[in-house]
Amino acid sequence: MMALMEENSIMEAIEKANILVEALPYIKNFRGKTFVIKYGGNAMVNEKLKQMVMKDIVLLKLVGINPVVVHGGGPEINDMLKKLNKKPQFVNGLRVTDRETMEVVEMVLTGKVNKEIVSFINSYGGKAIGLSGKDGGLITAEKDLTNGDIGFVGYVKAVNTEIIDLLVKQGYIPVIAPVAIGEDGETYNINADTVAGEIAGSLGAEKLIMLTDVEGIYKNYADKNSLISSLDIETALRYIDDRIIDGGMIPKVLCCINAIKKGVKTTHIIDGRMPHSILLEIFTDEGIGTMVVR
Ligand SMILES: Nc1ncnc2c1ncn2[C@@H]1O[C@H](COP(=O)(O)OP(=O)(O)O)[C@@H](O)[C@H]1O
Ligand SMILES: CC(=O)N[C@@H](CCC(=O)OP(=O)(O)O)C(=O)O
């Protein structure tokens, strides 16, 4: 019995070593490259998972990859608005943002969510630094009128990556909240997926990884065996037209396509609810989730 247990634990240890060896070519390939990781939505609500994601990000940095984190926090904003007796309202997935809501959005994203992520990363031995689009002139926003006037909702007019380049060079992990200032001096609320796509494009990132609350993109959303492992731009656009890709997945895929057109090599939509999904995507031969490529 004892011998069998010992044999099992030796096999387990060998399996672990095999996984590390499998990661080697990827570590070699990706050293010095930039990965933009979008973390948000419902993938962010579980504390334990949150900590695992942060550990994975620290590990990436320690093996020589440069992670840049862009976070959301929609559910946290909703919670705070409800506490203030304000009903969250959305048009095509974008929050209707009046002046009071804008104050709440900025407070929750830059004050609470951003600092929490920064603290976690730092507690695991990383050097995270929190920023919003306002810091160092990182993002210039302009009012987004594509859905009519829904208040202080912005799109990204320009990205100045100087501050990110500087921080990355000094060994920091930038953690970015999707709030920015317009040329009119107003503060704008920008969808976090959009910000991640634009930042990845401007940095010429190797990868854009979007953590979400599904395994990836399904060919048939009702059939969980229909996960698509790789999708090119043309097919992705066709799937959007045919409503195979629908709802919150549409802007996500469009952000991936935008990033690819700006030079990002591969984009990935992966399951943020799965422990260590980032590591499994980057360091295993099979990868996980759905890859959107040129
Ligand atoms: N073909 C599809 N495959 C997977 N998810 C899809 C598909 N079509 C629509 N969706 C929806 O997209 C959602 C992901 O978008 P969203 O909820 O906005 O993510 P997040 O909150 O992480 O930003 C999924 O939970 C799912 O309901
Ligand atoms: C304009 C707009 O809708 N902004 C988003 C910003 C946060 C976000 O995108 O968060 P998730 O990634 O968690 O959805 C919002 O106010 O909810």
ipTM for this model: 0.96
74 annotated among ligand-binding-site residues: yes
How many residues appear in the chain?
294
What are the φ and ψ backbone dihedral angles of 237, each rounded to 5 degrees? -65, -40
273 annotated among ligand-binding-site residues: no
What does the pLDDT read at residue 1?
A: 57
Domain boundaries, the chain: 31-293
Using CA atoms, how far apart are residues 102 and 84, in angstroms rounded to an integer?
13
What does the pLDDT read at residue 42?
A: 77
pLDDT of 131-180, one tens digit each? 999 999 999 999 999 999 999 999 999 999 999 999 999 999 999 999 99
Using CA atoms, how far apart are residues 36 and 276, in angstroms rounded to an integer?
16
243 annotated among ligand-binding-site residues: no
Using CA atoms, how far apart are residues 9 and 135, in angstroms rounded to an integer?
50
Closest-approaching ligand to the CA atom of 226: 1
Asked whether the beta carbons of 174 and 162 are under 8 A apart, the reply is no
What does the pLDDT read at residue 97?
A: 98
Task: Find the Cα–Cα–Cα–Cα dihedral 270, 274, 278, 281, rounded to 10°.
Answer: -60
Question: Does ligand 1 have an atom closer than 6 angstroms to the CB of 247?
Answer: yes
Atom of ligand 2 nearest to the CA of 195: 9
| Atom 7 (ligand 2) nearest CA | 72
Q: Which residue has the tokens 């590990």?
A: 59
| Atom 5 (ligand 2) nearest CA | 191
| Atom 4 (ligand 2) nearest CA | 191
Using CA atoms, how far apart are residues 217 and 170, in angstroms rounded to an integer?
36
Asked whether the beta carbons of 155 and 147 are under 8 A apart, the reply is no
The token pair that represents 53 in the structure block: 């994601």
Question: Does ligand 1 have an atom closer than 6 angstroms to the CB of 155?
Answer: no
Q: What is the pLDDT along the chain (294 residues), one digit of tens a residue?
A: 556 668 888 999 998 898 889 999 999 999 999 999 999 877 887 888 999 999 999 999 999 999 999 999 999 999 999 999 999 999 988 999 999 999 999 999 999 999 999 999 999 999 999 999 999 999 999 999 999 999 999 999 999 999 999 999 999 999 999 999 999 999 999 999 999 999 999 999 999 999 999 999 999 999 999 999 999 999 999 999 999 999 889 989 999 999 999 999 999 999 999 999 999 999 988 899 999 999
Using CA atoms, how far apart are residues 234 and 69, in angstroms rounded to an integer?
28
Q: Which residue has the tokens 């609500």?
A: 45
Ligand 1 center from residue 212 Cα (angstroms): 7
Using CA atoms, how far apart are residues 115 and 123, in angstroms rounded to an integer?
12
Q: What is the pTM of this model?
A: 0.95
Lining residues, ligand 2, CB within 6 Å: 40-41, 72-74, 77, 94-95, 105, 153, 178, 189-192
Spell out the CATH class of 31-293. Answer: alpha beta
Q: How far is CA 180 from CA 64, 84, 91, 156, 269, in A?
A: 29, 23, 20, 8, 25
